[in-house]
Amino acid sequence: MNVINVEQRTPDWFKARLGRLTGSYADDMLATIKSGEAAARRDLRMRLVCERLTGQTYEDTFMSAAMIRGVDLEPVAFAAYEALTGQIVQRVGFCAHSEIMAGCSPDGYFDDFQGLLSLKVPKTTTHIGYLRANRFPPEYVPQMLCELWITGAQTYDFLSFDDRLPLDLQTFHIRVQRNDAAVAEFETRALAFLDEVDRELEALEQLRRSRAA
């Protein structure tokens, strides 16, 4: 793993992610439908091809008001996590796989990447849903598996934070231990997907050569 120390959501961060499968889009890579290929998976594959061909990012950089609020409150959420757990967290820009076009951007890490932190500052209704369910949110399992795969971490902490609620309801925290079988299955599917990206790119390179002949 190569750690690239750039600030997240900056031009250098987008450049580091260029053409790579990342945790943010792991759910699209895993998307399935009854017949054929899911549109989200196909679109992700073609986006990565286009990024490698052009050297430009095609990620959606739009940020809604809720997303901006989440970014602004990240330092407060980090402080809430550290106060709750006593764990000191290091921030990281981008973690790139040393051999494969894949990577991830954990919100934080501790114990020399033995543990990872994922912070969310969601809508109040979503946060309450996490509190009521009292489990790791299933929609973030693909991202978690990707980050565990890339970093080799053994534990994964999830914290949801909402300062609009009464103090005793402002945080939801859950820790998940690494499941080697689940991570291995994710790796197998990720490698197959990235092979498809490579083959798509090679087909386009052949087309270029034939047009130049």
Domains and CATH numbers, the chain: 2-212 (3.90.320.10)
Q: Residue 99's pLDDT is what?
A: 95
Q: Residue 199's pLDDT is what?
A: 97
- Cα distances (Å, whole numbers) of residue 8 to 104, 107, 174: 11, 9, 24
Q: Residue 70's pLDDT is what?
A: 84
Helix H or strand E segment including 144: helix 141-151
94-96 and 2-4 strand pairing: antiparallel
Ordered per-residue pLDDT tens for the chain, 213 residues:
999 999 999 999 999 999 999 999 999 999 999 999 999 999 999 999 999 999 999 998 778 888 889 889 999 999 999 999 999 999 999 999 999 999 999 999 999 999 999 999 999 999 999 999 999 999 999 999 999 999 999 999 999 999 999 999 999 999 999 999 999 999 999 999 999 999 999 999 999 989 987
Helix (H, G, I), strand (E, B) or coil at 152: coil
The sign of the CA dihedral 195, 201, 203, 209 is negative
Cβ–Cβ < 8 Å for 107, 25: no
Helix H or strand E segment including 143: helix 141-151
- Cα distances (Å, whole numbers) of residue 81 to 75, 86, 118: 10, 8, 10
